[in-house]
Amino acid sequence: MGQNILVDEIGYLPMDPKRAVYRGEETLQFSVIDKKTGEEVYGGVTGREIYCKAAEEKNRIISFDALTEPGEYYIKAGDEESVTFEIKDWAYRDAMKSMLKFFYLQRCGTSLPKEHAGIYAHDKCHDTDARIYGTDTFKNVSGGWHDAGDFGRYIVPAAVTIADLFLALELDPDLAKQDFDAPVDYPEMGPLLSEIKYEIDWMLKMQDEKTGEVYHKVTCMHFCDFFMPEDEKDELVISPTSYAATLDFAASLAMAIKFFKPYDAEYAAVLESASKKAYDAAMKMEVKSFRNPEEIVTGEYGDEGLEDELYWASAELFRAFGDEKYRKTFEEMAYTHISHGYGWEDVYSFGNVAYILSEYPLDETLKNIIIAAIDAKADSLMTLCRSNGYNVSFNEKSFIWGSNMYLIQNACHLYTAYFFTRKEYYLEAAIEHVHYIFGKNPCNICFLTGYGTNRVMNPHHRPSAAKKEPMPGMIIGGPDSGLHDPTAEKHLQGMPAAKCYVDELLSYSTNEITLYWNSAMICMLAQFTKDYKERK
């Protein structure tokens, strides 16, 4: 993996900007070579030097936008050669299918047949009733998706995951028909909505029937070893309800209603009742961050800032139902403070988009203020892009746990700004973030399992470890300069921030996977695909 010409290893779309990175001291002539014929089809000179402090290296951009002919190519400059890449229409279609199938392969509470799951087939798992923490009461909360490399199920990331997928469907309705080689429980809905419903059905079970509050998570007390899910036999425990889980539940289910109503009005009514009940319950709850009970050491998802949950939920319920109380709450908050975020810790952007796209009467002045704030956020990201040798919105302080998710979120911010302002350079910058994830990065690795010449082989993911084969279609967390696990500490001391990544099973801080990293990338690619259709 020592190449110094870095490309998107999955490919480039014919009409889009095409960039590679050469890391080296000198300006060089470069050639793009047709792999089939061995002939040069395009040439030029590497661009000006950009010092990438985060990677501690000198970068020069290789631009080959004018090459639009589909085919397989590699780039040569001096003694260096890139890996082979493709230029073709819908270059990311197969990757998208694989990322979507990941959700099916993460199903909990059911058996996965070999016909669809291949080597990751397993018997029914985690189907016993779970004990509500601190009580002798048991509750059926089977179903849903395993959240990450472990087998826990958590409401907060689940809500953000389906929110990403609903945004993807809104931007590219054709995604609903995308086949990804998984059983379709509700054929009339199509594969993706059917799969999302599997997760929502579990989420509904996590709501307390009496109070409307929503339990934060269901896991065992401790993380298990690296085996298949049906082999985890410890008692399942439902952690207490939380403010964040209750409002995220309300928001994401409000989003869901319009997608399911055309197919099942009764189910949509269930979602409406559950969403409103959760919102009303949250208004009576103490506003405090969730903390694991002392005996439970599985993922916490303890959000420190909770204003954004109310912001998002109010916007989504206003968009879904048009009630004055939701509109008033959102507008009062937005006039006080507008922020951004597409992740589980910060969900402001979901609220911003929901409000702007509402079909109910809203405050046009506030709408314009929010769009201006989105534009300003994107402009600040562009400043980072222009000073980064990889054309992405990161600096040396950006490489934290889950850095790839934050980078994809930035791409979504840039596209959101493009969507509302039509400034082309926002779109071009968002595309560069996709290329980064797929190989044009300082680690010189494709961060999507199963893809690329330089690929991830040892993700922190229990089924992959059990089968000794990385499950395809998973977005990896990426560099974390905090060195938050013993394996990272051992291998990455003194490394530049952008290179603090190690492809080792036990490096959970750099090499784990999660639902919401996949869904964020799917949302980004859906936006990318929508725009590409329009330009074709």
| C-alpha span between 415 and 430 (Å, rounded) | 6
From residue 402, give the alpha-carbon distance in Å to each of 127, 243, 521, 523: 30, 24, 13, 17
Catalytic-role residue among 303, 428, 503, 504: 503
Distance CA 500, CA 506 (A): 14
Report the alpha-carbon distance of residue 266 to residue 156 in Å, rounded.
25
CB 212 within 8 A of CB 278: yes
The C-alpha atoms of residue 144 and residue 146 are separated, in whole angstroms, by 7
CA angle (528 as vertex; 106, 87 as ends), nearest 5: 95
Active-site residue, 503 included? yes
Please state the length of the chain. 536
Tokens representing 454 are 């330089």
In the annotation, is 512 catalytic? Answer: yes
DSSP tag of 498:
G
Catalytically annotated residue among 147, 164, 512, 531: 512
CA distance 356 to 371: 8
CA angle 372, 377, 379 (to 5 degrees): 90
Collect all residues with Cβ–Cβ distance below 8 Å to 258 and sequence separation of at least 6.
320
How far apart, in Å, do the first and last CA atoms of the chain sit? 35
Does the CA dihedral 119-141-250-276 come out positive or negative? positive
- Check 460, 480, 485, 504 and give the catalytic one: 460
- The residue annotated as part of the active site, out of 150, 195, 232, 308, is 150
Smallest CA-to-CA distance from 4 within 18, 25, 33 is with 25
Q: Is 32 helix (H, G, I), strand (E, B) or coil?
A: strand
* 460 is a catalytic site residue: yes
Q: Are 503 and 511 in contact (CB under 8 A)?
A: yes
Nearest to 171 by CA among 423, 437, 524: 524
- Are residues 530 and 172 in contact, defined by beta-carbon separation less than 8 angstroms? yes
Beta bridge partner(s), residue 21: 6, 61
SS3 319: helix
Residue 336: name the closest of 348, 347, 346, 344 by CA: 348
DSSP character for 195? H
Report the run of H or E that residue 528 belongs to, with start and end: helix 515-535
Which positions are catalytic?
Answer: 150, 460, 503, 512
